[in-house]
Amino acid sequence: MAVRGPSLSVRIREFKDSDYDSLAEILNAIYPDHRTDVEDLREDDKRFDKERYVRKRYVAVDDTSDQVIAFGVYSHIPGMFDPQRFRVDIFVHPFWWRRGVGTRLWHRILEDLRDLKATVVLAVARESLPNGLEFLRKLESLAS
């Protein structure tokens, strides 16, 4: 089991266009067998109908290095659309796991979802990475 490291000083800010490189780097570090690149990510965003649906990303920046080390995104689910139903995904670069960064992003996103009066929040974790399941269990237990 991974040991919890000391908490980090991070700031959470909205995603900017110049963050696509960091997004690709973080995803490829987490899922080396399913590599993606900036082009794919941009293309996916272009295809997402922003006129009809909400999709918003935040990034976590390490205060010491000024590096983007994680991101979180929430969005409507076009395939099963309900204005108050959202999917949330959080991705932290493995180097920074278990230091409270994912939890910080989760709380930031929940603030927005409360304002949007979300009634259903879906989050998915791959079984191949058990920390995702543990993370969601922990957040679920905090919410209940």
**Footprint (CB under 6 A) of ligand COA, residues 48-87:** none
DSSP code of residue 80 = G
Distance CA 46, CA 17 (A): 12
Residue 129 as a binder of ligand COA (CB under 6 A): the answer is yes
Residue 24 as a binder of ligand COA (CB under 6 A): the answer is no
Residue 138 as a binder of ligand COA (CB under 6 A): the answer is yes
As given in the structure block, the two tokens for residue 90 are 């959080």
As given in the structure block, the two tokens for residue 97 are 């796991």
Name the pairing type of β-strands 68-76 and 55-62: antiparallel
Residue 131 as a binder of ligand COA (CB under 6 A): the answer is yes
DSSP code of residue 63 = T
Q: Using CB under 6 A as the criterion, what x/- string covers residues 83-102 for binding ligand COA?
A: -----xxxxx----xxxxxx
In the complex, the residues that contact ligand COA under the rule CB under 6 A are 1-2, 4, 30, 88-92, 97-103, 123, 125, 129, 131-132, 134-135, 138
